[in-house]
Amino acid sequence: MRQYVVDAFTDKVFGGNPAAVCVMDEWLPDNTLMQITKENNLSETAFAVKEGSDHKLRWFTPGGEIDLCGHATLATAYVITRFIEPETAAVRFQTLSGLLTVIKNGELFEMDFPSYELKKVEVTEAMVEAVGIRPLEAYMGRDLLCILESEDQVRSLNPDQEKVNLLDGLLLQVTAQGREYDCVSRSFAPKCNVPEDPVCGSGHCHIIPFWANRLGKNDLVAYQASQRGGTLYCEYQGDRVKLSGKAVLYSTADINF
């Protein structure tokens, strides 16, 4: 079986967020998909099968299947439009989060994702101990979103992974207003066996709704300030968020099992 590794939300190899992508003729057993994911040991491995005119898409972390992943969706669209169906410029994915459409526009891949509804929650001492700094505010969607005072705080953050694992929410998203970008962020996912996700598309389905409302603008450029780094071009549309980014191929391989 052919597998591609694509760096998403970047135009340079070794940047952005790497995702493994397998576009298959038919589904393999879930335990096999999980074994492949653990062998890859990336934050996400995406599996897709053509079903009618759409593709069914599933995302797996080393800790299990998840309901939404941005960078692996971008990576899968990159693989399909470059290697599988080079004549197409739009890919429709049936997923656990409903229908997701990705449109190729030059070097950018534009993804239409659902926004997470954010509920303001109390900043607790458990959050302070886990994050290592007291957030200004905290919100809950699928993930816990913590608002910090400055970009420097986001960049220098070194959270306690064991304590993050005990917080509510699937991932921990931390964000602040940026100097060169509208917002900067980092994503931590010890519950998925991923200490830090280099560029988290689904995390921006929390981050962009917050900053769009706070800044009073719908078009934002976001930067994920991980060691690898990544840029997302975003448009807030209320119950939807459009996320655009670039991608570059790192490797291709044949899986033998």
Q: Is 119 exposed, middle or buried (0-12, 13-18, 19+ CB in 10 A)?
A: exposed
What amino acid is encoded at 235 in this protein?
Answer: E
Task: Identify the three-state secondary structure at position 252.
Answer: strand
The contacts of residue 182 (CB under 8 Å, 6+ apart) are 211, 215, 217, 220, 221, 222
Report the phi/psi class of residue 184: left, alpha or beta, with left for phi > 0 and alpha for psi in -120 to 50: beta
> Do 197 and 203 meet the contact criterion of CB atoms below 8 Å apart?
yes
Hey, what's the torsion of the CAs at 112, 87, 17, 133, to 10 degrees? -10
Among 119, 80, 35, smallest CA distance to 247 is for 80
- Whether 44 is catalytic: yes
Q: Which neighbouring-strand residues pair with 110?
A: 103, 244
> Do 44 and 71 meet the contact criterion of CB atoms below 8 Å apart?
yes
CB atoms within 10 A of CB 184: 25
Q: Which neighbouring-strand residues pair with 185?
A: 175, 224
Q: Of residues 44, 110, 151, 196, which has the active-site annotation?
A: 44
The residues that are catalytic are 44
